Amino acid sequence: MRRFEAIIKELEGDLMEMANLCKEQTENAIKVFMEGDKNNAKIIRKKDVDIDLMEINIEDKCIKSLALYQPVAEDLREIITVLKISSKLEKVGDNASKICKLLLKSDIEGKRYNELLIVMKNYLLDMLDEAMDAFKNRDEKLAIEVYNMDKKLHELFEQLYRSMLTKIIENPNKITLYTEIIFAGKYLERSGNIVASIGDRIVFMLTGERIKEWELEEEIKK
């Protein structure tokens, strides 16, 4: 099984590289969105293909490993988790691309700075860092924390949403601008949901149980 362990290590490296590119894409997407930089938005959109190719490469390695080594129990859960995480990271990359698409389709020129978008983006990137640390270090406690961090990101989005609604009422002629900011925040929130589910998958990898199952059991007991 030494070869299988080497493949797992290789897949870990692939996932870390993919996560770093997702972070970079998210960081840059918010930057160009707020600066109204359509030229760089096009570049970021094109770079999303690299994330798609990374997912395909990881999936191919996982399928070959399943066929060659027929892993069971913990080893099987590791491969399944790698597959799931790569799929979720691809969706995070898609959301960064969609933020750029918002800008590219917009008729509004100029900057659209928003402090809450920056706070949301930074919080999301911290979530992703901790999720990948939890995976790399096989840290169940940290994985659970990542799962629960999503609540704060949702609260930040609700704050952004209310703020933009107030601005729409005060400046109805800028409704398109404020709506675009709401959508950018929504894509960040969706990425937060995805990263939280990575925490859930890591717990499954380590314990064979899902956090969602625990929550359902608690609901049944009430």
- Quote the pTM value: 0.92
Instruction: Give the position of tokens 């960040």.
Output: 188
Reference 209, options 147, 153, 151, 154; nearest CA is 147
Q: What token pair was written down for 53?
A: 């190719």
Mean residue pLDDT of the chain comes to 92
The whole domain housing 111 covers 2-221
What CA–CA distance (Å, rounded) separates 74 from 221?
A: 29
Q: What is the CATH number of the domain that holds 130?
A: 1.20.58.220
**How many domains is the chain built from?**
1
Amino acid, single-letter form, for residue 202: I
Q: How far apart are the first and last CA of the chain?
A: 45
Smallest Cα–Cα separation from 195: which of 129, 98, 119?
A: 129
Using alpha carbons, select from 100, 79, 11, 87 the residue that is nearest to residue 51: 87
- C-alpha 131/C-alpha 6 separation (Å) is 22
Residue 219, pLDDT > 50, answer no
- Residue 199 phi/psi, 5-degree rounding, is -60, -40
Q: Give the 3-state secondary structure of residue 133.
A: helix
- Comparison of pLDDT for 213 and 222, the residue scoring more: 213
Above 60 in pLDDT, residue 218? Answer: no
Q: What is the pLDDT of residue 73?
A: 84
Q: Please give the pLDDT value at position 222.
A: 45
Q: What is the pLDDT of residue 210?
A: 85
Q: What is the pLDDT of residues 128-178, one digit of tens each?
A: 999 999 999 999 999 999 999 999 999 999 999 999 999 999 999 999 999
Q: Note the pLDDT tens digit of each residue in 76-125.
A: 999 999 999 999 999 999 999 999 999 999 999 889 999 999 999 999 99
Residues 53-70: tens digit of each pLDDT: 999 999 999 999 888 888
